Structure 1
């Protein structure tokens, strides 16, 4: 087949290298609108489960990703003036620079014979009329998807809270949360290291707090200075960085949850953020994009007919994405209702943060839920020990 991938993010590059690895006879080209080496954003997260899958699928790229990652094994939260609380028994995770991740995937793809055209923006299928398959992995604002949004059944829901994706030269050891109370309400951030000298820092607040603090009208410099003051407790004098390697300035946004009823149209198929998004607070975007790529390659190599392959990919991945988007909705709502939890002692808040996907938590007083959770946790520990002696 002659295959065109529109978008050189994690989904497009991983799909291209896996397809070429499966059958070198395929002619695979990736079209990326940005120049090589420039990308929007800083660090991204992934978890042990994803690393195990990557290692099983393509050990070479998996090793390079792991070697370039920063790992954390504990979580710490600072809430107002309280001493920090730490939790060490949650599953650890990894952070890696987005630019480094893309470089690893691009190098691996090219080593297998994939052709990558940087600085080439594709806005319509007619530009790729000789392709047997066009994979639209051109992000949340996908131009190819929007041309057929009626067919795909595209829907976009905006989150209530404002958020800002920044970097800092403060390298966080544990995954770090900070919740600051202001006269205009709560504002919070979380940070995680992604290389030896930098961390990602995601900041979020309600629209009332955003406007009350003047962040809606502050200049870039004024906004960063205010945020550095509000989160001085975790930054330790380090600056926040608001302009990335691509030269783009960070902007306050409302998260866009994208869903599509259908994921393919003729020989055009959606993948990654073009097909779906999940709220950043569950840290699943990269894993889901790479999972899409692996599943689509599997369908193409196990089905002789292209239409059947695309239908199988759509059916299989939609089931996974629905579960992830449900968890993401509950996670986003937990943050949107932060005042409900913010007055709890930090260790209780951190515990309930870990339970934010619960369908019960929004309907039970937080203190009562915490006490019940602790009783159940102790009971589970006791039962495990009893079974271990049997």
Structure 2
């Protein structure tokens, strides 16, 4: 089978890996528009469920990802005029550049032809074309009517920055300015750098003149606003070299169907979920697993692509609901600003409104040092127990079929 992945992000590279594991005779090509080592984005986050899947499908790349990732063991919530509070939970983060490097290296080891600085519209003759070229997918947009593409734009403005300040753990920080509230989502992803996503309403964005400042001046303005959180370090907008700034509105992408002949959508080209739940990378790589499994079932290509879409739609539905609820909470954030510290952070945690009442009592108790330490310890035991099972996981290698 001749397979072309249009897009060298996590979805395309990981599917290429699985395709070559299934059958080394497959001719697999990955086309990436950027040069080697160039990517937009800072760190990505993921949790145990993705790691379990990665070890099941390819333990080699899974171990490399696991060993390179940072681990954090709670969420911290800071807000002007409020005590610092904490939320239970743990996860992992990894630089997007590092993740892509690991996946590209693994793909090349297996014989995938990875082509950088490529024109994604110049597709070689292929039995299967995987359109995984992002939320603004050119391949999808070329036939958007067929796919039934719909793009819904969120209200808030946001920008994805980096900083040399290494946060201790995943942190939400809210600052009240003369113009209103502005906040960040931050987490470390290596020993020297953290992701720092800033978000605010359009009114605050304009009142702070962030709509008129260039990249350098905009970062300087934000450094002043968040000075108490950055430890004297700077903020970096890596889109500055391309001109302009990285301020965006989130785009919620959906498609009525995901395939068109031998072309199939994957990752952000097929669906997007708001960054506040941190599931974009996870969903993209699980798309790759599902497509590999669907092809492994054999038979003609069209039913295989339908099986893939059906499976992923079912898995995506609860996360898409969670992402919508999360983004809408942040759009209404000023409504919660006057709550006391513990209630404010609990509202942030329960932004889907699904927690039972006892969770609030647990939240209150774990704002004290001893109960909080006990909960972190219990979660740590669970994490280590789960981790010990992974290296022994048997690879689950799908067998792709086709000419």
**TM-score, structure 1 normalization:** 0.90
For residue 308 of structure 1, report the CA deviation from its aligned partner.
1.1
What is the aligned partner in structure 2 of residue 160 from structure 1? 155
Give the drift of 1:225. Answer: 1.2
Q: Is the 8 A contact 1:136 1:268 kept in 2?
A: yes
CA distance 1:146–1:201, shift in 2 (3 Å): same
Aligned pairs (5 A) from 1:121-160:
121-123=119-121, 127-128=122-123, 130-160=125-155
Q: Which runs of 5+ in 1 are unaligned?
A: 362-368, 379-390
1:302-347 C-alpha deviation (Å, 9 max, x unpaired): 1221111101001111112222111100000110010121111222
The SS at the match of 1:39 is coil
Residue of structure 2 equivalent to 1:83: 83
Q: Are the counterparts in 2 of residues 96 and 195 from structure 1 also a CA contact under 8 Å?
A: yes
- 1:175 matched to 2:161? The reply is no
C-alpha RMSD over aligned residues: 2.1
Determine which of 112, 115, 134 is the counterpart of 2:113. 115
Question: Is residue 2:360 matched to residue 1:374?
Answer: yes
Whether the 8 Å contact between 2:268 and 2:284 is mirrored in structure 1 is yes
2:255 to 251, 254, 260: 260
| Runs of 5+ consecutive residues of structure 2 not aligned to the other structure | 365-403
Which of 217, 220, 235 is matched with 2:212 structurally?
A: 217
Q: Judge conservation of contact 2:346–2:363 (CA < 8 Å) in 1.
A: no
TM alignment of 1:197-216, pairs within 5 A: 197-216=192-211
Conservation of the 8 A alpha-carbon contact between 1:42 and 1:244: no
* SS of alignment partner, residue 150 of structure 1: helix
| CA distance in structure 2 between the aligned counterparts of 1:70 and 1:336, rounded to whole angstroms | 29
1:274 aligns with 2:269: yes
| 1:35 aligned onto 2:35 | yes
1:336 matched residue in structure 2: 331
Q: CA deviation at 1:139?
A: 0.5
Contact 2:216–2:240 (8 Å) recurs in 1: no
Aligned equivalent of 2:70: 70
Counterpart CA distance in 2 for 1:244 and 1:60 is: 33
Asked whether the equivalents of residues 163 and 196 of structure 2 are also in contact (C-alpha less than 8 Å), the reply is yes
Question: 2:48 maps to what in 1?
Answer: 48
Q: Deviations over 1:136-177 (max 9, x none)?
A: 001111111011111111000000000000000000111111
Query: In 1, Cα distance between the equivalents of 2:243 and 2:210?
Result: 19
Q: Secondary structure at the match of 2:89?
A: coil
Does structure 2 conserve the Cα–Cα contact (< 8 Å) formed by 1:165 and 1:250?
Answer: no
* Alpha-carbon offset, residue 82 of structure 1: 2.3
CA contact (8 A) 1:180 1:186 kept: yes
- The whole-number CA distance in structure 2 between the counterparts of 1:128 and 1:264 is 16
Range with greater deviation from structure 2 (293-302 or 217-226): 217-226
Structure 1 residues 75 and 129, CA gap change in structure 2 (3 angstroms) = closer
Q: What TM-score do the two structures reach when normalised by structure 2? A: 0.87
Q: How many residues align?
A: 366
CA 1:339/1:274 → structure 2, altered by over 3 Å: closer, same or farther? same
Cα distance, 1:372 vs structure 2: 7.2
